[in-house]
Amino acid sequence: MATPLNVLVYGALDAGSCDVFRMGMYRDHLDDLGVTLRPWTELRVEFPAGWENRPQEALDAGAFELDRSALDWADVIVFRRYYFTSAACLVCDTASRSETEMAEHGRLTGHAVRGPLDRLLRPIWRRITEDPAWLGGRAIVYETDDDVLATPAWSGHSAIAGLESGLVRSMLERADLVTVSTPPLERMAGRYNRAVRLVRNAIEPDWYAGPAAAGGAAEAAGARGGTGPSGGPRILFYGVPARLRDYAVCRDAIDETARAVAGTRRIWLGGDDDAVRAVADEVHGYVRGAPAFARSLVEARPDIGVAPVTDEPFNKARSELHWLEYSMAGAATIASRLMGGGPYDVIRDGVDGLTARNRSQWREGLRSLAESPTLRAELAGRARERVLAEYRAADRAVEWADAYRWAAEHAGRGTSAVRD
């Protein structure tokens, strides 16, 4: 049996879907491989009076010392994406390293503002970078499944992401190993670090319980023509309302298909507001927790899953997760194919899904899927077979274990690389 390895993740393993798909879902599988994954969330400090808003100064002055118990347990420490170490507005895309400045913003606008959600990360990271011996030979892994350095304004959090960009670059450069979810992220990270490992996303098959998980949804859809009224197909998109910008890529094609094919239903899963209701016949709100969301996706009974993305650096770096989940829910996927590569390049066009480069191809692809239950069933069935063969969490955990062990064996490499 392999030597046990302890991996400490700064932050949560399952607070959000990205935490789950990049960390939490592998916990039990990694246990079986001798790798223990543990969140470093219990790190809480009561700052002495007068030092509450000055953690770095307090640490430098010896007013408090960090609890090393979790750190001393670990062989590898993982930092992820970016953290909210700045004050931010809860209404608009405004943020600042100055809490005083954000308080004034709140006073002038009437917006609710909050202080930094994490006051300790920057002091910790400064200690790591300025005093390598403080780590005691432990390895650093930086992991991301987004191109944080290309966060767009439409996301609503570009300001705070921009304030964290210097910290992100420092982590990319200092890490002994960088792990990413897509080839575009692999190329981005390669500009900062020579040790980059691509570990794609995966699915936990048991989450998609129901007819789709049993392999019957695609065949059933083919037999009865569709699950919408009068046998028409249910065309589903999932995402938060901010993703209306992506949905616009195929909205006209979906609407034309709905008018042309009787009984077609346009479904939106993941956000309920006026703008979403204007483009959908059936709206389901946000479902918290990856397993619960997977169940809601299956229960929505999609026949066709659409995965449109606008052509920009941030979207190019996204993963193929929509295709994975649509396939597990029994839907045939049609997705954007971007110039220069994108998240759905993994789809074999016409074999386990369809891809579209322009509005004409979206119209043609959607119409062919809507009119042919047989085509939907064939694409959905082959896609599910491939996802189960190549994207199981249990199999992907082997790649994660290998990455963590490599990092542990090369602890300190990042320090030397920075010097070089």
Question: How does strand 177-180 pair with strand 196-198?
Answer: parallel
Q: Can you give the pLDDT at residue 420?
A: 39
Q: Span 5-83+118-202+393-419: which CATH code?
A: 3.40.50.2000
HSE-CB of 158 using CA atoms within 13 angstroms: 8
Q: Can you give the pLDDT at residue 43?
A: 61
Q: Can you give the pLDDT at residue 148?
A: 93
Q: Can you give the pLDDT at residue 214?
A: 44
pLDDT 10s digits, 358-388 = 999 999 999 999 999 999 999 999 999 999 9
Three-class DSSP labels, the chain: CCCCEEEEECCCCCCCHHHHHHCHHHHHHHHHCCEEEEECCCCCCCCCCCCCCCHHHHHHCCCCCCCCHHHHHCCEEEEECCCCCCEEECCCCCEECCHHHHHHHHHHHCCCEECCCCCCHHHHHHHHHHCHHHHCCCEEEEEECCCHHHCCHHHCCHHHHHHHHHHHHHHHHHCCEEEECCHHHHHHHHCCCCCEEECCCCECHHHCCCCCCCCCHHHHHHHHCCCCHHHCCEEEEECCHHHHHHHCCCHHHHHHHHHHCCCCEEEEECCCCHHHHCCCCEEECCCCCHHHHHHHHHHCCCCEEEECCCCCHHHHCCCCHHHHHHHHCCCEEEEECCCCCCCCCCCCCCCCCEEECCHHHHHHHHHHHHHCHHHHHHHHHHHHHHHHHHCEHHHHHHHHHHHHHHHHHCCCHHHHHHHC
Distance CA(51)–CA(326), nearest Å, equals 50
Q: Can you give the pLDDT at residue 41?
A: 76
Q: Can you give the pLDDT at residue 132?
A: 86
Q: Can you give the pLDDT at residue 307?
A: 98
Q: Can you give the pLDDT at residue 70?
A: 85
Topology of the domain comprising 205-390: Rossmann fold (3.40.50)
Walking along the chain (420 residues) 10 residues at a time, the average pLDDT comes out as 90 88 96 95 67 70 74 94 90 92 95 89 89 91 95 90 95 97 96 97 92 47 56 93 95 97 96 92 91 95 97 94 98 96 96 97 98 97 97 97 98 68
Q: Can you give the pLDDT at residue 181?
A: 97
Q: Can you give the pLDDT at residue 66?
A: 73
Identify which of 7, 29, 16 has the alpha carbon closest to the alpha carbon of residue 392.
29
Q: Can you give the pLDDT at residue 33?
A: 97
Where does CATH 3.40.50.2000 sit in the chain? 5-83+118-202+393-419, 205-390
In this structure, which amino acid lies at residue 8?
A: L
Q: Can you give the pLDDT at residue 193?
A: 97
